[in-house]
Amino acid sequence: MIKLFVTDLDGCISYPFKSPDWEAINLIRELNQLSQEQEEVPKLTICTGRPFPYAEAVAQWLDIRLPFIFESAGLYHWDGNRIVTALKSTDGELEPVNRMREWLKSDVIPDYPGVIIEFTKMMDAGVVCMDVKIIEEIHRRVLDKVDEIHPGMEVHATDISVNILMPGNDKLQGIRLLSDALDIELSEMAYIGDSSGDVPALKHVKLPFAPKNAHETARQHGRVLDYEATRAVLKAYREIIEYNRKGGFG
């Protein structure tokens, strides 16, 4: 039985910089609400690399009442307005991230008008831009620089962002925090993601999914659906419900 369905945001729930598919989002919301009444319908939550304010807003769209993950490995609890992480910023663990952020501001951002720092981030250094070619160039520059700042830092890129994390502070850590908080095993979870940052989670859950628009790295580790973004999340949700009702895929 799948007890929890976890979704990424950018490239899954919606496309960055585009109007959301509100019809599909409303249908996903209705399924999540149905999970309060029917055991076969797993509850829904989020695991995203995006900052807390965005993740919280989308959680409101979807009527998510469970804790959710932001910045890949920050767990937010509605109850008590609490944030739990595996890192302790007060003891210097995030110093390499802060150094990377300062390098991005001083050496990278000035070269690319229109690129912005994800300024609300707490645990990761991220930049965002609508131009995929610029993102690819920044990604290459970050890969050349990262080991100089701190060997082993993780670098993930999407079509609109580059993100640099401390080693292991990724989405696998995020779903492990969810597992501990909700007492749900990874073998009782489904996950949908579209980029390299989602691969650690996709590799460890029971049912991994990837939308049609997913990058090849994610497609290699998930059940690829014939739908893109929001419609793929809706399709995956329906397939998981059917899986629970039938005791497996037919």
- Residue 106's pLDDT band (cuts 50, 70, 90): very high
> What was the pLDDT predicted at 193?
98
- Cβ atoms of 108 and 127 within 8 Å: the answer is yes
pLDDT tens by residue, 129-141: 999 999 999 999 9
pLDDT tops 70 at residue 27: yes
The pLDDT tens digits for 152-164 are 999 999 989 999 9
What span, in angstroms and rounded, lies between the C-alpha atoms of 35 and 78? Answer: 18
Domain ranges of the chain: 4-86+169-246, 89-165
Q: Give the tokens for residue 151.
A: 């060997």
Question: Torsions phi, psi of 246, nearest 5?
Answer: -95, -10
CATH class of residue range 4-86+169-246: alpha beta
Mean pLDDT (the chain, rounded): 95
Q: Decide if pLDDT at 200 tops 90.
A: yes
The confidence score (pLDDT) of residue 92 equals 75
pLDDT band at 190 (very low <50, low <70, confident <90, very high): very high
Angle at 124 between CA 212 and CA 176, to 5 degrees: 65
The SS3 assignment for 179 reads helix
Task: Give Cβ neighbours of residue 57 (< 8 Å, ≥ 6 apart).
Answer: none
| Dist CA 176 CA 98 (whole Å) | 25
In the prediction, which pLDDT does 249 show?
A: 78
Quote the tokens at residue 51. 């900052």
Q: Is residue 211 a contact partner of residue 232, using CB atoms and an 8 Å limit?
A: yes
pLDDT band at 90 (very low <50, low <70, confident <90, very high): low
User: What is the distance between the alpha carbons of residues 160 and 75, in angstroms, rounded to a whole number?
Assistant: 24
